[in-house]
Structure 1
Amino acid sequence: MQYDLKKSIKISIDTLTIGMFVTAIEHSKRVNLTNAGRVPSNQAIDQLKKSGVKFAWVDRELSTQGCVFNPVSDVPEQAVEPEVAPVTEAKPKKQSRFTQQKRASKIIREAKGLAQKLINQTFEGKVIHVGEIEEWADDVIDTVAIDSDALQCVSALRNKDKYLLEHSVNVACLLVSFGKHLGLPKETLKHMAIGGIIHDVGKIKVDDKVLHKPARLTPEEFEHMKLHQVYAKQIITNVKGLSDVSRDVCLMHHEKLDGSGYPAGLTAEQLPIHGRMSSIVDIYDALTADRCYKRGMSSAEAFKILLSLTPNHLDKNLVYKFINCIGVFPVGSVVELSDGRVGIVWTSNIDEPLKPEVKCFYSRKYKRYVEVSYVDLKHSAVKIEKAIAPHNLEVDPSPFFDL
């Protein structure tokens, strides 16, 4: 169903309240017809504010009774012409998540296509233009503002044979979520997303025998691997319109605060916040991914390693903020509950991070699949017993990432 903005009222984001039915949002002068639906919580309003939304269009008739509307008086009743096409109407909770997850899946597919295109263009020696990536980055930022859980859940489903593409996409998405959590400006988030997509582009010039070696690299092979950052510096000279922030994300994600990183051996004083963030995100995603030479670890295990790398290699304060951003049990991670059921963390709970909503599908107690159920731990006697790396589970959880 499409919504006519002429039937909607433009209000300041500061007067948006729970129960209002939002049909569009505005960043500066750019209007986006968003996934329409009622505002579910103050947290959702805060997310919109943090992402730079200044105004919202709301439908009075579809809003909950009792809502008080204060239209802005500096614009005529006629609606601003939107820049993007509307999407489908939001439905009840599970269906609404379905809509969001379909959108997230589309964004991830587009990102992989972009990453592959960049690789092909690099091989062919063609000039790369940032414009195409910028449009995708805007979509990611809007999706994170509306429903970051759906994006996290889709990106958690991985294929080790497509590691380079998926790692680049995940780093980009995680950087946007992390930057939004820190309150960074939208323009900075966009540049960080672009930097994330291209951050490992230099690896296409690394010897495949080294890049895909199913064992620990020798010192000589590791030195060769480190050259991917040298190659990256050469390659990104062909990327037209690349910002300094995007360039830093690409070239600083292997630098360390004590100066022992590469390629430039930069020290803490030389590493801006987005450079420090890229190191944390890159390591986390690499640790939790299946590779040709190792199995991915659980988020809890990865967090321990990140903390062990502070304060010499990683910024301790930022590591704690990153853990707080994605949650002790991130959306998309597999967990075991105290009653033996196993499920996927489905929806985060900022107020009580140890009590998310979990999509249960298997019982370790009875060694069998169980009827799929969504357990909100805020209102349940069970709790999360531990996180599980997917490869340590007796069954394949991947089919249950879909709704």
Structure 2
Amino acid sequence: MRLVPIEYAREGNFLAQPLFNDNGQILLSKGVMLNNRLIFKIKEAGFLYLYINDNKDEEVINDVIKPEIRQKAIVSIKKIYSAIAQENGINSQKRLNDTVTDLKNMIDGIVDEMFAEKSIMIQLVDIRNLDNYTYSHSVNVAILSLVIGISYGLNKNDLYDLALGALLHDIGKMFIPENLLKKPGALTIDEFNIVQEHSLRGFNYMKDELNINARSRIISLQHHEKVDGTGYPYKLKDKEINLFSKIVSIADVYDGLTSDRIYRKAIPVHEALEYIMGGCGRLFDFNLVQAFVKKVVPYPIGTFIKLSNDVIGIVENVNLDFPLRPTVKIIKEKGKICSEYIIDLTKENTIVVEDIVYNI
């Protein structure tokens, strides 16, 4: 199973992960054989990447949580945003509080499921269309934050509060003009200052209108703070920043980098991971980055990669202690098919992965 840009999907490929619409309903099921008409429809629906199998019986990688649970969480977040937008009177406030209660109950189930699987690894990026970015991003940030929190050793009560705050970390964007959030070009200084207001607006809204505890809502306020004091809104440094906010900061940036946006395409997981590692101790907390990078698999089994010695291979095994250095079955040398052989990059220190290959 491998992730490919939609332009690399071909007739005869099999869909390795289902595609969902904005309401959490399945558009295309796992295992469907693609043809040109379906590929066109997928493009038309706004999907820029797919997980495919070249053969129907290839190994399928499981997500951190079940796809149906992920979609239910996305729908729940969407309901909260909708309830806020329609807020008007007692009935509306009750509907909003009921929706938040439902979300908390769902979080309990997600935390319990993930906490039981301590060896959980992040091997997939979420496939979504551009229109559904806000809701999918909120859920992804929560899931990634839980993976970091579990790796860091947080207890269940901590994880419940972390997940709730992560799910609602961007709720302040409800109060920012949509044309700024979806602007395809660079923001002006004044526009960026307005967008930055979402941190404080979200925090104040949760404090005044929602039954959200202080440990969860502080995440909205601080998730753009950086440990070197260059973040916003208050330019806090290191120990001044809440632990949960530091965790969500990493998850937020990672998911943003690996997601398609209106103004740019997603970057590969290994590049996003290198960015996070490059910001270790400067933008992000050192210990939390160390906990995170051990849980991300940038080259899942089945990925075609090019190595620095000018060979192309397919990832055969992930070395969990060194996820940037997988075991690779070489299938091509200097542009030509070759006799297959294995390279374990943990034992070949002079060879590195140069890039992911989508078409061999």
**TM-score (normalizing by structure 1):** 0.60
Deviations 1:257-302 (A, max 9, x none): 2333222332323212212111111111111111010111122222
- Contact 2:259 2:265 (8 Å CA) reproduced: yes
Q: 1:235 to 1:308 in 2, by over 3 A?
A: same
C-alpha distance in 2 between matches for 1:233 and 1:103: 28
For 1:308 and 1:377, how far apart are their aligned partners in 2? Answer: 25
Secondary structure in structure 1 of the residue aligned to 2:226: coil
CA contact (8 A) 1:342 1:364 kept: no
Q: For the residues of structure 2 that align with 1:161 and 1:310, how far apart are their CA atoms? A: 32
Q: Aligned to 1:314, what secondary structure does the other structure show?
A: coil
TM-score w.r.t. the length of structure 2 is: 0.66
Distance apart, 1:330 and its partner CA:
6.2
Residue among 281, 286, 291 paired with 2:256: 286
Deviation at residue 146 of structure 1 after TM alignment: 5.0
1:105 to 40, 61, 67: 67
Matching residue of 2:218:
248
> Counterpart amino acid of 2:113?
T
Paired residues of 1:101 and 1:154 also in contact (CA < 8 A):
yes
Aligned match of 1:121 in 68, 79, 83? 83
Q: Which residue of 2 aligns with 1:302?
A: 272
Q: 1:309 to 1:376 in 2, by over 3 A?
A: closer
SS at match of 1:340: strand
The question of whether the paired residues in 2 share the 8 Å contact of 1:341 and 1:364 is answered with no
Which residue, 267, 285, 297 being the options, matches 1:315?
285
How well do the aligned residues superpose, as a CA RMSD in angstroms? 4.0
Q: Partner letter of residue 253 of structure 1?
A: H
Please, which of 182, 187, 195 is the counterpart of residue 157 of structure 2? 187
Specify the code of the residue in structure 1 equivalent to 2:73: A
Equivalent residue number for residue 385 of structure 1: 353
Does the Cα contact within 8 Å between 1:253 and 1:278 map onto a contact in 2? yes
- How has the CA–CA distance of structure 1 residues 207 and 148 changed in structure 2, closer, same or farther, with 3 Å as cutoff? farther
2:65/2:110 contact within 8 Å kept: no
Measure, in 1, the Cα distance between the counterparts of 2:131 and 2:225.
Answer: 27
Give, in whole Å, the separation in 2 of the partners of 1:331 and 1:251. Answer: 34
* Deviations 1:369-388, CA, capped at 9 Å, x for gaps: xxxxxx9979xx9x983453
Contact 2:229 2:238 in 1 (8 A): yes
Q: Distance in 2 between matches of 1:195 and 1:355?
A: 34
1:212 and 1:144 map into 2 onto residues whose CA distance is 33
| Aligned-partner Cα distance in 1 for 2:328–2:103 | 33
The number of equivalent residue pairs is 287
Q: Distance in 2 between matches of 1:364 and 1:198?
A: 49
| Structure 1 residue corresponding to 2:105, chosen from 113, 132, 135 | 135
**Closer, same or farther in 2 for the Cα pair 1:263/1:356, shift >3 Å?**
same
Determine which of 114, 121, 133 is the counterpart of 1:144: 114
> Partners in 1 of 2:254 and 2:65 — Cα distance?
25
In the superposition, relative to structure 1, how do residues 333 and 354 fare at CA in structure 2: closer, same or farther (>3 Å)?
same
Task: Go from structure 1 to structure 2 and tell me whether the alpha carbon gap of 1:132 and 1:356 turns closer, same or farther (over 3 Å shift).
Answer: farther
- For residues 6-155 of structure 1, the aligned pairs below 5 Å read 104-125=66-87, 126=93, 127-129=96-98, 130-145=100-115, 152-153=122-123, 155=125
One of 166, 173, 185 as aligned partner of 1:196: 166
Q: Give the whole-Å Cα distance in 1 for the aligned partners of 2:305 and 2:323.
A: 16
User: Could you say what secondary structure the match of 1:283 adopts?
Assistant: helix
**Unmatched runs of 5 consecutive residues or more in structure 1:** 1-93, 368-374, 396-403
- For residues 335 and 148 of structure 1, what CA distance do their matches in structure 2 show? 28
Partner residue of 1:167?
Answer: 137
Determine which structure has more spread, i.e. the larger CA radius of gyration: 1
1:376 and 1:128 map into 2 onto residues whose CA distance is 55
Q: Does 1:271 align with 2:241?
A: yes
Q: Distance in 2 between matches of 1:122 and 1:161?
A: 19
Contact 1:101 1:150 in 2 (8 A): no
Instruction: Find the aligned partners of 1:187 and 1:283 in 2 and give their Cα distance.
Output: 25
Aligned-pair identity in percent equals 27
Which one of 325, 336, 340 corresponds to residue 312 of structure 2?
340
Residues 211 and 351 of structure 1, relative CA distance in 2, 3 Å threshold: closer
The Cα offsets for residues 224-247 of structure 1, whole Å up to 9 and x where unpaired, read as 111111321232135543222211
Determine the C-alpha separation between the residues in 2 that align with 1:376 and 1:239.
57
SS of residue paired to 2:295: helix
Kept in 1: contact 2:125–2:258 (CA 8 A):
no
Q: Do the aligned partners of 1:116 and 1:165 also contact (CA within 8 Å) in 2? A: yes
**1:336–1:218 Cα change, 3 Å:** same
> Which residue number in structure 1 is paired with residue 189 of structure 2?
219
Select the structure with the greater relative contact order (CA < 8 A; seq sep ≥ 6): 2
Give CA deviations for 1:8-44 in whole Å, capped at 9, x if unaligned: xxxxxxxxxxxxxxxxxxxxxxxxxxxxxxxxxxxxx
- Contact 2:115–2:156 (CA under 8 A) maintained in structure 1: no
Partner SS state of residue 266, structure 1: coil
Report the Cα distance in structure 2 between the residues aligned to 1:298 and 1:99, rounded to whole angstroms.
Answer: 18
